[in-house]
Chains A and B, each alone.
Chain A
């Protein structure tokens, strides 16, 4: 790996003499993330490789594809949004599979640390507003420059989620109630179709003591209703116990919306609520999917099994949204 990366880096980074500190970070079999340093005369350059190894070229159906991810990241970077600079898109002669190399951004992605550690104390109160502005910037990226992406609609999203849930043949009355609510409240096509990040939440945001430093993981990027991103980041599962701060456990909807509108885009709170319910149900269905894969699949791990037991968390959150007690 080190040798191949060194050869690859030398081909586009004049003066680079090799790479050091190569370490695999995370990911499954089809998508890998590696961290390394480019050895450079003026000081080493921190870099991240995101790739599908040779033989894993085909992306899952929902994924935008690694080339599209690279294009989007670079577009965001060029527009002045917090996004890593893309250094190189992998070529066949690199023999590293498909993917890209980007500048490494220092900071934290682990929610519990961001929500509890002292070093983020000054970032927490400003994050929701900051993220509103960032997500508005993402939605404002020019349609003419976007790579080819799937277009999603709320109606299609409900149907896909329902199909996946039904495929489990695992009747869950609370999920049925949520599906019914979603069909009744389907807002239809948005006023404006924009780029949607698709997974804008803890884990995909690099946070420093000064606030947000980078938006990562454009794997689920698509075009559609911009309110989807605002609803998804409010899903209770990403609040990590801070349930009175709907935006990631650190801020209010009002702050998020104010940041968004200050950047010249309009918020539709009813649509945001729709996508929050959708997102809560989606995470619940994903937990059920983990249980199915645990039972039938090659990944017979405890972790997967225990995530299956987290679908009930989304049921209580759906009830809090749709049938609050004391009303």
Chain B
């Protein structure tokens, strides 16, 4: 067992330092790069928090949909293949629901401020 603070706590501390102490004193193209860097750290913190549950749920849905077991990578490859060869499409029960849930879980990590995501989250 590793010691603490946790990776999430460390990343948040670094991101907050960059955001509050460094951002005000950096200008020009490096200010843009700094913002991208802070965004990356925030993304990693979100992934560390959300990935275990969303991966487990995705794997469970995929196993049900495909009737097989495997790693998340193998299951996604199998689903992609079945869509590509026409075995599975939007008429397949639960496919659209699965893709929506999976995609929403990705956006929650990648880009929670993306307007399409916020609209869908609002339960249009």
Contact = CB atoms under 8 A, between A and B. Distances in A.
Interface of A: 171-177, 179-180, 236, 239, 241-243, 302-303, 305-306, 309-310, 312-313, 315-317, 319-320, 322-323, 325-326
A313 B124 contact: no
8 contacts: A172-B80, A177-B83, A180-B84, A243-B119, A302-B36, A303-B36, A305-B40, A313-B111
Closest 10 CB pairs of A and B: A171-B80, A176-B83, A312-B106, A171-B77, A241-B115, A323-B96, A243-B115, A312-B110, A309-B110, A173-B79
A176 B84 contact: yes
B116 A323 contact: no
A313 B107 contact: yes
Nearest to A303: B36
Interface stretch (B11-19, B48-56, B97-105): B97-105
Contact of B106 (A171, A242, A302, A315): A315
Interface of B: 33, 36-37, 39-40, 43, 76-77, 79-81, 83-84, 86, 89-90, 96, 99-100, 102-104, 106-107, 110-111, 114-117, 119-120, 124
A172 B96 CA distance: 14
A316 B40 contact: no
B44 to A, nearest CB: 10
A313 B76 contact: no
A310 B116 CA distance: 13
Contacts of A180: 83-84, 86, 89
A306 B83 contact: no
A310 B99 CA distance: 17
Contact of B100 (A172, A302, A319): A319
Given A176-B84, A320-B120, A306 B103 contact: no
Given A171-B80, A241-B115, A312-B110, A177 B40 contact: no
Contacts of A173: 76, 79-80, 83, 99, 102
B110 A310 contact: yes
Contacts of B40: 302, 305-306
A176 B83 CA distance: 6
The residue among B36, B39, B96, B116 with the most chain A CB atoms within 10 A of its own CB is B116
A41 B96 CA distance: 67
A172 B75 CA distance: 11
Contacts of B106: 312, 315
A320 B116 contact: yes
Contacts of B84: 176, 179-180
Contacts of A171: 76-77, 79-81
B69 to A, nearest CB: 17
B7 to A, nearest CB: 18
A303 B37 CA distance: 8
A326 B100 CA distance: 12
A180 B18 CA distance: 44
Nearest to A177: B83
Contact of A316 (B83, B86, B103): B103
B119 to A, nearest CB: 7
Given A177-B90, A243-B119, A302-B36, A316 B107 contact: yes
